[in-house]
Amino acid sequence: MATKVRVNLANQQELQEIPGVGPEQAAAIVKSRSEHGPIGGREELARLMGRALPQEAWARVDFSPADSTAPEAPGA
């Protein structure tokens, strides 16, 4: 089984591991998180991407909020 990607913690490269998420969509997700906080669910993610993800992608997505004590990414 493939590892889940934590949408609210992953960097742009990690987000692109989700089927259907390319560089532009990953950048939009990261930008939205920084401006508006965690992504709340499927509908919000689809709105940010401009389209829904393929059905098989949802098995790879985890919407758990970022840990309040999570270390910042290098260069953040």
Task: Please check whether residue 72 lies inside any domain of the structure.
Answer: no
Task: Answer yes or no: is 69 within a domain.
Answer: no
Structural domain of residue 58, as residue ranges? 5-62
Whether 31 maps to a domain, the answer reads yes
Residue 68 DSSP one-character state:
T
Q: Residue 46 above 50 pLDDT?
A: yes
pLDDT for residue 48: 87
CA 20 to chain centroid, in Å, comes to 12
In the chain, the amino acid numbered 35 is E
Domain membership flag for residue 23: yes
Q: Which two tokens stand for residue 16?
A: 């692109």
Number of folded domains that form the chain: 1
| Local confidence band at 2 (pLDDT 50, 70, 90 cut-offs) | confident
> What was the pLDDT predicted at 19?
93
- Mean pLDDT value across residues 30-39: 94
pTM of the shown model: 0.79
Q: Is residue 36 assigned to a domain?
A: yes
CA distance 26 to 34: 13
Residue 35 lies in a domain: yes
Provide the mean pLDDT of the chain.
86
Q: Is the residue at 53 inside a domain? A: yes
Does residue 74 sit within a domain? Answer: no
Question: Mean pLDDT, to the nearest integer, of 45-52?
Answer: 88
